Chains A and B, each alone.
Chain A
Amino acid sequence: MASFGQSVRVGIFLGVRQLKRANRSTTILIISIMTFTFLNLVVVSGILVGLIVGGNIANRNQYTGDVIATTLSGKTAIDNSQNFIATIAHDPQVTAYTARYLAGGTIEANYKTRTDFSNEANSVGGQIAGVDPSQEDDFSHISQYVVEGSFLTPGESGYIVLGSDILDRYSASFGQGFDSLKNVYPGNTVKVTINGNTREFIVKGIVKSKVGQVSLRSFMSNADFIQLSNRTDMDVNEIALEHNATITDDQMKARLVADGFTSVSQIQTATEAIPDFLTQIKTAFSLLGNLIGAIGIVVGSITIFIVVFINAVTRRKFIGILKGIGVSPMAIQVSYLLQSLFYGLCGSLLGSLILYGLLVPAFNAHPLNFPFSDGILVADIPTTIVRIIILLVVTLIAGYIPARNIIRKNTLDSILGR
């Protein structure tokens, strides 16, 4: 009987020539289908996951940084904050940081022109943040998200930057259940009340971001905040930092924990700071993407099945002849498997080229504009490799089954077309 090696050798000999001399249009069509199957497998789940990942990246860039320390439950601020800040300010691996004072407050607008006191005042409750303008901008580049007016500048006093989501014209989609300020524009004067103290501020700008902690907050300078809130201890509520690439988030957190700062604050990496529901949505989207991708794989494998089946059926006579002249069934199967493998590989490689050469850069440059995040295309290489392997295995099975079925037919019946 023919050895395995001989069968493989003859199978490759036949398969290569069948591919080489196959109809070009048909080959291009099959490879196109395999390419789209691959892209469907990777891109759909990549976009779904990218919706959440894009939000997480924005959250990291604009709010948490790599590690964030927040006020412990039951406390009003991070005790002895200046010691914490001094520590990270002298850490060579910390590249940027910001310290934020936070307090709940109300903002009232158009009070000078109000004539009808039977209706509610044009006011909104929200979180007021006191920041060092240059430090905050270096850290989160918040000025890039100012859509009207401009961000705070160091040394100035009496100005406030409002988050867009507390303004009526930006938050209409939130519905009627939420208060918002109407007809407020840069240059208008608003009354800000914190801890019962009220002061007028000039609206300097409107900041709009898909990160809630930015677009729902209003920003003023540290000095104005301290004066308005009567804080005298200099203890802040949030300290967020970024580090260089020589250290991981977990290592940075571990160092702060080792320095004892967990006794005064809750320290979280950016990943830990992601709300649980977002992580769950990411998992759900990932599963959904895999499900859609699996449907794509089934469609792709059926395509290969049909292609190989039709190829094998129309070549049944020649398969019979091959068997008749003594070519082993395994050699014939190998020739069909080789063709399936070729289609699968070409589709995967072409798909990978389109993915990494075109789609990922395009999505990075122009993220999908979703209401809650800028969706990117997540396609990490290990996951892509796993999907290529899945596609190839499924393709091989889809090619093997019809070839095997035709090969098992009676030799003479195949030759005579019975």
Chain B
Amino acid sequence: MIYAKNIIKTFKNGSMETHVLKGIDLTINSGEFVAIMGKSGAGKSTLLYQLGLLDDPTSGTIRIENTLTTDLSIEERTTFRLNELGYIFQDYALLPELTALENVMVPLLMQGKAQDEAKKIATASLERIGLGHRKDNLPSQLSGGEQQRVSIARAVAHNPKILFADEPTANLDSESGDAVIEIFRTLHAQGQTIVMVTHEKEYTTYCDRIIHLADGQIVQ
């Protein structure tokens, strides 16, 4: 499903260059639940952003199914992200002036779905993660765990091929973190491909594979 070849990412700051990813070769199969682990600064989030088309690698190629994503224009990448990928961020990344339901509806509307249809799908997605009763609440009225669940509902509402999660449990207490991982487990059981960055070993129990990064390279 994901084929990354010789991914190099270098950040430049004036004359100083920082090599964050140093030639990553990686394949992730359809339906896999993969965890990317490593110490702080190892390059795990940077790798996730390259795989999730949120950033451009300095060199190397990424193919998702039959699309060579590194060749896509900015507009094509936006559309690709909209239709094929889902994202969950560490800090939930919900829009503060939209209710839970409206947050989930946004990508669906952008896909061209009618308002009623988008509302129906978004409601179903929220109910699926147990937040149907909180759909009219603003993010500020939800707990951290609830906000992250809304974020998951938004990420999966349009049935993406791959779900990218960047430290989804880092800001949550253990109970909420467990709930999030439980949702991932359920989604994985339903065939969802998930790529998750985490530094918490206990949340990798249900993963098919753990990729360890150190100093910008896969070590295991």
Contact = CB atoms under 8 A, between A and B. Distances in A.
A402 B198 CA distance: 36
A92 to B, nearest CB: 65
Nearest to B83: A326
Interface residues of B, number: 29
Given A17-B97, A415-B54, A326 B82 contact: yes
A397 interface: no
B1 interface: no
A324 B87 contact: yes
Contacts of B85: 326
A331 interface: yes
Given A412-B54, A415-B89, A2 B82 contact: yes
Given A17-B98, A327-B110, A410-B55, 5 more contacts: A1-B79, A2-B112, A6-B112, A325-B81, A326-B78
A269 B181 CA distance: 88
Contact of A10 (B75, B79, B89, B110): B110
A10 B79 CA distance: 14
Nearest to A13: B109
Nearest to A418: B11
Nearest to A410: B55
Interface stretch (A103-111, A229-237, A315-323): A315-323
A297 to B, nearest CB: 29
Interface string A324-359: 111111010000000000000000000000000000
B173 interface: no
B93 A328 contact: no
Contacts of A328: 75, 78, 110
17 contacts: A1-B78, A1-B79, A2-B78, A10-B109, A13-B106, A13-B109, A14-B95, A17-B97, A18-B97, A321-B89, A321-B95, A325-B106, A325-B107, A326-B78, A326-B83, A328-B75, A328-B78
A411 B53 CA distance: 10
B154 A325 contact: yes
A21 B137 CA distance: 13
Given A2-B79, A324-B81, A326-B83, A22 B97 contact: yes
A321 B87 CA distance: 9
A22 B95 CA distance: 13
Contacts of A13: 102, 105-106, 109
Contacts of B76: 1
Given A9-B109, A10-B106, A17-B102, A318 B79 contact: no
A41 B174 CA distance: 60
B164 to A, nearest CB: 10
Interface string A1-42: 111001001100110011011100000000000000000000
Interface string B88-109: 0100010111100010011101
| Interface residue tally on A, bucketed by range | 20 to 34
Contacts of A329: 78
B138 interface: yes
A18 B111 CA distance: 21
Contact of A6 (B78, B93, B102, B110): B110
Residue among B85, B106, B155 facing the most chain A CB atoms (10 A cut-off): B106
A98 to B, nearest CB: 69
Contacts of B97: 17-18, 20-22
A321 B93 contact: yes
Interface string A243-273: 0000000000000000000000000000000
Nearest to A20: B97
B49 interface: yes
A331 B79 CA distance: 13
Nearest to A319: B95
Contacts of A321: 89, 93, 95
